[in-house]
A and B are shown apart, each in its own frame.
Chain A
Amino acid sequence: GAVVSQHPSWVICKSGTSVKIECRSLDFQATTMFWYRQFPKQSLMLMATSNEGSKATYEQGVEKDKFLINHASLTLSTLTVTSAHPEDSSFYICSARDWGSGENSPLHFGNGTRLTVT
């Protein structure tokens, strides 16, 4: 079945540095990918919708200059957390839909990336 690969699975970085998270659709093309953030014991929060070949659409309250999203190809979207701070520590999850399976096909999720900023 369709698989979404997310890398790295966990990362520790120092405050002020930037971290890039990759999300790949392995056996399907994804014109749209979604980036979520999960706080401990809380629900997933949609951060942005990544669109291949165009600018990402950010949800209200999400800083687009801090969370840079690039969707350069039909199988890869990246989320870069710039100038990371400890409050950015969280679990980030990407998802994608295999549009080739129809518009009602379910979302496939990556395994998530746990970011810890020290």
Chain B
Amino acid sequence: AQSVSQHNHHVILSEAASLELGCNYSYGGTVNLFWYVQYPGQHLQLLLKYFSGDPLVKGIKGFEAEFIKSKFSFNLRKPSVQWSDTAEYFCAVLASGGYNKLIFGAGTRLAVHP
């Protein structure tokens, strides 16, 4: 069965620091990968997604993620974080099957201090 592992459960950064959140998945076939963000008190929003093509995917708000097939990884990065990036970030893999279920990682809570 597919699974998603996020290694950093809680990250604390100062503004302007660089961010990298790890995400590894287990699935041997073709994958669709996503990063979602949940700001405090809000619903989940899609940051970016990878289906095929260029393994470096750019999303909204300056985020990007790189799909490295050999490492089964899809790490999220941002060169310089802002206080407004404080949120919880979820990596997800699209599971195979008729209903295309999304399987989520445990999430990483990011706190950015001014």
Contact = CB atoms under 8 A, between A and B. Distances in A.
Interface of A: 32, 34, 41-44, 46, 49, 51, 57, 93, 95, 97, 103-104, 106-107, 109-112
Contacts of A111: 42-43
Contact of A110 (B34, B43, B90): B43
Interface residues of B, number: 21
Contacts of A46: 101-104
A109 B102 CA distance: 12
B12 interface: no
Interface of B: 32, 34, 36, 42-46, 49, 51, 90, 99-107, 109
B34 A106 contact: yes
A43 B43 contact: no
B90 A43 contact: yes
A103 B51 CA distance: 11
B34 A49 contact: no
A34 B105 contact: no
A57 B103 contact: no
B83 to A, nearest CB: 21
A49 B43 CA distance: 19
